[in-house]
Amino acid sequence: MISELFKRLEFYLDARQNKEIFIYPGLNLGVEHSDAHTQAEATVFGFWVFLMSDAIIFGMAFATYATLLHGTADSPGPRELYHLGPIFIETLLLLTSSFTFGMASIAMKYKHPTSRLVGWLLITLVLGVVFLGMELNDFRAMFAAGGLPTQSGFLSGFFGLVPLHGLHVMAGCIWLVCMLGQIAVHGLDSETKLGLLRLALFWHFLDIVWIFIFSVVYLAGLA
Protein backbone atom coordinates (compact mmCIF):
# COMPACT_ATOMS: atom_id res chain seq x y z
CA MET A 1 0.00 0.00 0.00
CA ILE A 2 2.75 2.46 0.99
CA SER A 3 4.85 1.53 -2.03
CA GLU A 4 1.85 2.19 -4.29
CA LEU A 5 1.44 5.64 -2.75
CA PHE A 6 5.12 6.41 -3.35
CA LYS A 7 4.77 5.29 -6.98
CA ARG A 8 1.79 7.60 -7.45
CA LEU A 9 3.69 10.48 -5.84
CA GLU A 10 6.71 9.85 -8.04
CA PHE A 11 4.49 9.81 -11.13
CA TYR A 12 2.87 13.07 -10.06
CA LEU A 13 6.24 14.77 -9.53
CA ASP A 14 7.55 13.55 -12.88
CA ALA A 15 4.41 14.72 -14.61
CA ARG A 16 4.65 18.06 -12.83
CA GLN A 17 8.22 18.47 -13.98
CA ASN A 18 7.26 17.65 -17.58
CA LYS A 19 4.09 19.79 -17.36
CA GLU A 20 1.92 16.87 -18.43
CA ILE A 21 -0.73 17.13 -15.73
CA PHE A 22 -3.91 19.16 -16.01
CA ILE A 23 -3.26 22.83 -15.35
CA TYR A 24 -6.90 23.97 -15.54
CA PRO A 25 -10.40 22.40 -15.59
CA GLY A 26 -11.47 21.29 -19.02
CA LEU A 27 -9.59 20.09 -22.08
CA ASN A 28 -5.84 20.52 -21.59
CA LEU A 29 -4.02 20.68 -24.93
CA GLY A 30 -0.76 19.27 -23.58
CA VAL A 31 2.87 20.19 -24.04
CA GLU A 32 2.71 19.39 -27.77
CA HIS A 33 0.88 22.71 -28.16
CA SER A 34 3.58 24.62 -26.20
CA ASP A 35 2.54 28.29 -26.00
CA ALA A 36 -1.22 27.68 -26.26
CA HIS A 37 -1.06 25.11 -23.44
CA THR A 38 0.77 27.55 -21.16
CA GLN A 39 -1.33 30.60 -21.99
CA ALA A 40 -4.55 28.66 -21.49
CA GLU A 41 -3.96 28.35 -17.73
CA ALA A 42 -4.77 32.02 -17.13
CA THR A 43 -7.09 32.52 -20.12
CA VAL A 44 -9.35 29.55 -19.45
CA PHE A 45 -9.47 30.32 -15.73
CA GLY A 46 -10.70 33.82 -16.53
CA PHE A 47 -13.35 32.39 -18.81
CA TRP A 48 -14.50 30.02 -16.06
CA VAL A 49 -15.07 33.12 -13.90
CA PHE A 50 -17.21 34.62 -16.67
CA LEU A 51 -19.24 31.40 -16.95
CA MET A 52 -19.87 31.44 -13.21
CA SER A 53 -21.22 35.00 -13.46
CA ASP A 54 -23.39 33.91 -16.38
CA ALA A 55 -24.66 30.99 -14.30
CA ILE A 56 -25.78 33.49 -11.65
CA ILE A 57 -27.80 35.39 -14.28
CA PHE A 58 -29.48 32.17 -15.39
CA GLY A 59 -30.11 31.25 -11.76
CA MET A 60 -31.94 34.54 -11.25
CA ALA A 61 -34.00 33.90 -14.40
CA PHE A 62 -34.91 30.41 -13.14
CA ALA A 63 -35.89 31.83 -9.75
CA THR A 64 -38.09 34.47 -11.40
CA TYR A 65 -39.79 31.85 -13.56
CA ALA A 66 -40.44 29.59 -10.57
CA THR A 67 -41.93 32.50 -8.61
CA LEU A 68 -44.28 33.48 -11.45
CA LEU A 69 -45.11 29.96 -12.61
CA HIS A 70 -48.68 29.92 -11.26
CA GLY A 71 -49.43 33.53 -12.18
CA THR A 72 -51.30 32.72 -15.38
CA ALA A 73 -54.02 35.38 -14.86
CA ASP A 74 -56.58 33.37 -16.89
CA SER A 75 -54.13 33.26 -19.81
CA PRO A 76 -52.83 30.07 -21.47
CA GLY A 77 -50.64 27.99 -19.18
CA PRO A 78 -47.93 25.40 -19.75
CA ARG A 79 -50.32 22.62 -20.77
CA GLU A 80 -51.83 24.80 -23.49
CA LEU A 81 -48.54 26.21 -24.79
CA TYR A 82 -45.85 23.56 -24.41
CA HIS A 83 -45.46 20.84 -27.05
CA LEU A 84 -43.02 18.20 -25.90
CA GLY A 85 -42.27 16.65 -29.32
CA PRO A 86 -40.41 19.60 -30.90
CA ILE A 87 -38.78 20.46 -27.58
CA PHE A 88 -37.43 16.92 -27.25
CA ILE A 89 -35.96 17.17 -30.77
CA GLU A 90 -34.34 20.49 -29.83
CA THR A 91 -32.82 18.80 -26.79
CA LEU A 92 -31.36 16.04 -28.96
CA LEU A 93 -29.96 18.64 -31.34
CA LEU A 94 -28.15 20.49 -28.56
CA LEU A 95 -26.83 17.33 -26.93
CA THR A 96 -25.56 16.11 -30.30
CA SER A 97 -23.91 19.48 -30.91
CA SER A 98 -22.09 19.12 -27.59
CA PHE A 99 -20.77 15.75 -28.79
CA THR A 100 -19.65 17.15 -32.15
CA PHE A 101 -17.89 20.06 -30.48
CA GLY A 102 -16.16 17.55 -28.22
CA MET A 103 -14.97 15.68 -31.30
CA ALA A 104 -13.69 18.97 -32.74
CA SER A 105 -11.77 19.62 -29.50
CA ILE A 106 -10.22 16.14 -29.66
CA ALA A 107 -9.25 16.71 -33.30
CA MET A 108 -7.50 19.92 -32.28
CA LYS A 109 -5.72 18.40 -29.28
CA TYR A 110 -4.37 15.37 -31.15
CA LYS A 111 -3.52 17.38 -34.29
CA HIS A 112 -5.86 15.62 -36.67
CA PRO A 113 -6.12 17.15 -40.15
CA THR A 114 -7.57 20.66 -40.01
CA SER A 115 -10.32 19.60 -42.41
CA ARG A 116 -11.61 17.15 -39.79
CA LEU A 117 -11.67 19.87 -37.14
CA VAL A 118 -13.51 22.25 -39.48
CA GLY A 119 -15.96 19.50 -40.42
CA TRP A 120 -16.94 18.88 -36.80
CA LEU A 121 -17.28 22.62 -36.20
CA LEU A 122 -19.52 23.00 -39.24
CA ILE A 123 -21.77 20.17 -38.05
CA THR A 124 -21.96 21.87 -34.65
CA LEU A 125 -22.90 25.15 -36.30
CA VAL A 126 -25.65 23.52 -38.38
CA LEU A 127 -27.11 21.83 -35.29
CA GLY A 128 -27.09 25.13 -33.41
CA VAL A 129 -28.81 26.99 -36.26
CA VAL A 130 -31.47 24.29 -36.62
CA PHE A 131 -32.08 24.45 -32.87
CA LEU A 132 -32.60 28.21 -33.08
CA GLY A 133 -34.96 27.83 -36.02
CA MET A 134 -37.09 25.29 -34.16
CA GLU A 135 -37.14 27.41 -31.03
CA LEU A 136 -38.30 30.47 -32.97
CA ASN A 137 -41.06 28.33 -34.45
CA ASP A 138 -42.08 27.33 -30.90
CA PHE A 139 -42.32 30.99 -29.93
CA ARG A 140 -44.39 31.74 -33.04
CA ALA A 141 -46.81 28.94 -32.11
CA MET A 142 -47.06 30.30 -28.56
CA PHE A 143 -47.84 33.79 -29.85
CA ALA A 144 -50.54 32.35 -32.13
CA ALA A 145 -52.10 30.61 -29.11
CA GLY A 146 -52.18 33.85 -27.11
CA GLY A 147 -48.97 33.24 -25.20
CA LEU A 148 -47.54 36.75 -25.33
CA PRO A 149 -45.02 37.97 -22.71
CA THR A 150 -47.45 40.69 -21.59
CA GLN A 151 -50.35 38.30 -20.93
CA SER A 152 -49.31 37.05 -17.50
CA GLY A 153 -46.52 36.79 -14.96
CA PHE A 154 -45.95 33.19 -15.99
CA LEU A 155 -45.34 34.18 -19.61
CA SER A 156 -43.12 37.09 -18.56
CA GLY A 157 -41.00 34.67 -16.53
CA PHE A 158 -40.88 32.19 -19.41
CA PHE A 159 -39.79 34.76 -21.97
CA GLY A 160 -37.25 36.12 -19.52
CA LEU A 161 -35.58 32.71 -19.30
CA VAL A 162 -35.89 30.61 -22.46
CA PRO A 163 -35.11 33.33 -25.05
CA LEU A 164 -32.15 34.36 -22.87
CA HIS A 165 -30.69 30.92 -23.52
CA GLY A 166 -31.55 31.24 -27.21
CA LEU A 167 -29.66 34.53 -27.41
CA HIS A 168 -26.65 32.81 -25.89
CA VAL A 169 -26.87 30.04 -28.51
CA MET A 170 -27.08 32.68 -31.23
CA ALA A 171 -23.99 34.37 -29.80
CA GLY A 172 -22.25 30.98 -29.76
CA CYS A 173 -23.13 30.40 -33.43
CA ILE A 174 -21.79 33.84 -34.39
CA TRP A 175 -18.64 33.14 -32.39
CA LEU A 176 -18.29 29.79 -34.16
CA VAL A 177 -18.53 31.46 -37.58
CA CYS A 178 -15.81 33.89 -36.47
CA MET A 179 -13.59 31.01 -35.35
CA LEU A 180 -14.04 29.26 -38.70
CA GLY A 181 -12.96 32.49 -40.40
CA GLN A 182 -9.97 32.74 -38.06
CA ILE A 183 -8.93 29.19 -38.93
CA ALA A 184 -9.22 30.00 -42.64
CA VAL A 185 -7.08 33.15 -42.32
CA HIS A 186 -4.56 32.31 -39.58
CA GLY A 187 -4.69 28.53 -39.29
CA LEU A 188 -4.44 26.85 -35.89
CA ASP A 189 -2.19 29.36 -34.17
CA SER A 190 -2.19 29.86 -30.40
CA GLU A 191 -4.92 32.53 -30.45
CA THR A 192 -7.20 30.29 -32.50
CA LYS A 193 -6.68 27.36 -30.15
CA LEU A 194 -7.41 29.51 -27.10
CA GLY A 195 -10.55 30.85 -28.78
CA LEU A 196 -11.78 27.32 -29.52
CA LEU A 197 -11.09 26.23 -25.95
CA ARG A 198 -13.21 29.06 -24.57
CA LEU A 199 -15.97 28.56 -27.11
CA ALA A 200 -16.10 24.86 -26.25
CA LEU A 201 -16.63 25.68 -22.57
CA PHE A 202 -19.32 28.21 -23.51
CA TRP A 203 -21.11 25.71 -25.77
CA HIS A 204 -21.10 22.90 -23.21
CA PHE A 205 -22.28 25.35 -20.55
CA LEU A 206 -25.30 26.24 -22.70
CA ASP A 207 -26.13 22.56 -23.12
CA ILE A 208 -26.14 22.12 -19.34
CA VAL A 209 -28.41 25.15 -18.95
CA TRP A 210 -30.78 23.71 -21.57
CA ILE A 211 -31.02 20.43 -19.69
CA PHE A 212 -32.25 22.42 -16.69
CA ILE A 213 -34.69 24.33 -18.91
CA PHE A 214 -35.99 21.11 -20.43
CA SER A 215 -36.44 19.54 -17.00
CA VAL A 216 -37.61 22.49 -14.89
CA VAL A 217 -39.61 24.44 -17.47
CA TYR A 218 -41.02 21.95 -19.94
CA LEU A 219 -41.19 18.57 -18.19
CA ALA A 220 -42.27 20.04 -14.85
CA GLY A 221 -44.73 22.35 -16.61
CA LEU A 222 -46.42 19.41 -18.34
CA ALA A 223 -46.31 17.12 -15.29
Domains observed in the chain:
43-222 (1.20.120.80)
pLDDT at residue 194, rounded to an integer: 85
Contact 98, 204 (CB under 8 A): yes
Distance CA 221, CA 78 (A): 5
Q: Which amino acid is at 49?
A: V
pLDDT at residue 33, rounded to an integer: 54
R_g over Cα of the chain: 21
Predicted TM-score (pTM) of the model is 0.85
Distance of CA 53 to the CA centre of its chain: 14
Per-residue pLDDT of the chain (223 residues; tens, 9 = 90+): 555 544 444 444 444 444 455 555 566 655 555 565 565 566 777 888 899 999 999 999 999 999 998 888 888 899 999 999 999 999 999 999 999 999 998 998 888 899 999 999 999 999 999 999 999 999 999 999 999 998 999 999 999 999 999 999 999 999 999 999 999 998 888 888 888 989 999 999 999 999 999 999 999 988 7
pLDDT at residue 36, rounded to an integer: 56
pLDDT at residue 188, rounded to an integer: 85
Going by C-alpha positions, the residue among 9, 38, 6, 11 that lies closest to residue 194 is: 38
pLDDT at residue 21, rounded to an integer: 57
> Residues near 7 by Cβ (< 8 Å), separated by ≥ 6?
none
Distance CA 159, CA 193 (A): 35
Cα angle vertex 50, ends 47, 52, to 5°?
A: 115
pLDDT at residue 18, rounded to an integer: 47
- Would the CA dihedral through 175, 181, 183, 189 be positive or negative? negative
pLDDT at residue 22, rounded to an integer: 59
